[in-house]
């Protein structure tokens, strides 16, 4: 049942004979208020084109993103979710050494392994400063070609400002930084994304439509980088990796600024309440987060597996974090959901914590 990711409803449903709508899934950090209403009509309209191939170069969506970000379209690559692009980068660029800060998203390591790249890791505290990142890099700069940096970070929820990240990448111009901003839309600060400013040449930014717009089943993301780097990636990308429905929906979502802002406002309120309630449960220590999920530690250092299994029997899923490098068996992660759903989780945790 453990695939290394949250949101594995298919496995749970297959194991227990349940339907997805019966399950309350806190293991996947998806906006609980989406998708926007426009998605449904756009998705239905896209069915008319299922008899034709989608545009392999995703021209319309690239133009829309380029206009929004004031970036030339030849610096944008669309992917079947940002995860496709994440695996594409080491395969296409063939870095010798990849540096990964832990704990962080596990697919950085998986992507490096798939491309047979050598790796080095640095363990950072739950809420690191830019000096922590810089110090770790300074010790290995001469042999590192590429760095994966999740900002804000999964699973800790910590983040650096765009100013701090810009300072870091300029300090290490010989290293290519892959900045994964899958959760940047949930951060309240305007200075959260590197895409709000001219992008340094040694940076690739990854963005996802999945999280903020609640469309994980469609798979859609994009990369922004230098023309030279994006062209290299494009040559290694499989043709038609992005389906036509995802492209049409993506085009419609780029105008949903009000939806994003309203989601952030509502999630800020729900996160504050959830954090406070979790802090009152004896034996649990939630870690402050800038995004739409919370990392939680059992203070008795016991494994969360018995707790996770007991919640599954109640059709509630949490994300065990024992398989994150740098974390232990006593950590788990929960998404911030709607008020009545959060209340159910809190009630169950109060019952089951000793």
Hey, what are 222's tokens? 């994009």
Considering 255, 279, 314, which residue would you say is the last residue of a domain? Answer: 255
Q: Residue 297: give its domain's CATH number.
A: 3.90.1150.10
pLDDT of residue 15: 87
Which of 203, 237, 255 delimits the end of a domain?
255
Q: Are 134 and 154 in contact (CB under 8 A)?
A: no
Q: Is 251 exposed, middle or buried (0-12, 13-18, 19+ CB in 10 A)?
A: middle
The reply to whether 50 and 99 lie within a common domain is yes
Does residue 224 share a domain with residue 89? yes
For 165-217, write each residue's pLDDT tens digit.
999 999 999 999 999 999 999 998 878 899 999 999 999 999 999 999 999 99
Report d(CA 146, CA 263) in Å as an integer: 34
At 52-100, the pLDDT tens digits run 999 999 999 999 999 999 999 999 999 999 999 999 999 999 999 999 9
Q: How many domains does the chain have?
A: 2
251-301 confidence digits (pLDDT tens): 999 989 999 999 999 999 999 999 999 999 999 999 999 999 999 999 999
- 266 and 343 together in one domain: yes
Its pTM stands at 0.94
Same domain for 297 and 169: no
Q: Which residue has the tokens 């700069």?
A: 141
Same-domain status, 236 and 272: no
How many Cβ atoms sit within 10 Å of the Cβ of residue 231? 14
Shared domain for 106 and 239, answered yes or no, is: yes
Note whether 127 and 143 are same-domain residues.
Answer: yes
Mean pLDDT of the chain: 94
pLDDT at 1: 39
CATH number for the domain spanning 180: value is: 3.40.640.10
């Amino acid at each position: 049942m453990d695939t290394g990711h949250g949101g594995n409803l298919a496995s749970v449903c297959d194991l227990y004979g349940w339907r997805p709508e019966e399950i309350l899934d806190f293991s996947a950090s998806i906006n609980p208020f989406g998708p926007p209403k426009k998605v449904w009509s756009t998705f239905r309209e896209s069915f008319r084109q299922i008899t034709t191939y989608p545009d392999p170069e995703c021209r319309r969506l690239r133009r829309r993103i380029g206009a929004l970000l004031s970036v030339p379209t030849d610096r944008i690559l669309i992917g079947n979710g940002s995860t496709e692009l994440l695996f594409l980068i080491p395969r296409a660029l063939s870095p010798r050494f990849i540096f990964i800060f832990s704990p962080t998203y596990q697919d950085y390591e998986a992507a490096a392994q798939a491309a047979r790249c050598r790796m080095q890791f640095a363990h950072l505290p739950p809420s690191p400063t830019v000096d922590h990142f810089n110090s770790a890099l300074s010790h290995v700069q001469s042999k590192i070609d590429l760095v994966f940096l999740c900002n804000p970070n999964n699973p800790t929820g910590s983040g650096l400002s765009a100013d701090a990240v810009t300072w870091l990448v300029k300090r290490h111009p010989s290293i290519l930084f892959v900045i994964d901003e899958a959760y940047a839309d949930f951060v309240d600060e305007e200075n959260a994304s590197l895409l709000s400013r001219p992008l340094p040449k040694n940076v690739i930014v990854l963005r996802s439509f999945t999280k903020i717009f609640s469309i994980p089943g469609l798979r859609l993301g994009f990369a922004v980088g230098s023309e030279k780097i994006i062209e290299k990636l494009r040559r290694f990308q499989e043709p038609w990796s992005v389906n036509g429905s995802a492209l049409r929906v993506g085009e419609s979502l780029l105008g949903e600024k009000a939806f994003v802002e309203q989601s952030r406002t509502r999630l800020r309120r729900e996160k504050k309440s959830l954090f406070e309630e979790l802090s009152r449960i004896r034996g649990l220590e939630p870690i402050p987060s800038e995004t739409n999920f919370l990392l939680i530690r059992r203070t008795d250092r016991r494994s969360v597996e018995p707790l996770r299994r007991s919640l599954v029997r109640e059709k509630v899923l949490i994300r065990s974090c024992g398989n994150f490098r740098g974390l232990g068996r006593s950590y788990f992660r929960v998404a911030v959901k709607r008020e009545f759903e959060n209340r159910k989780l809190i009630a169950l945790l109060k019952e089951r914590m000793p």
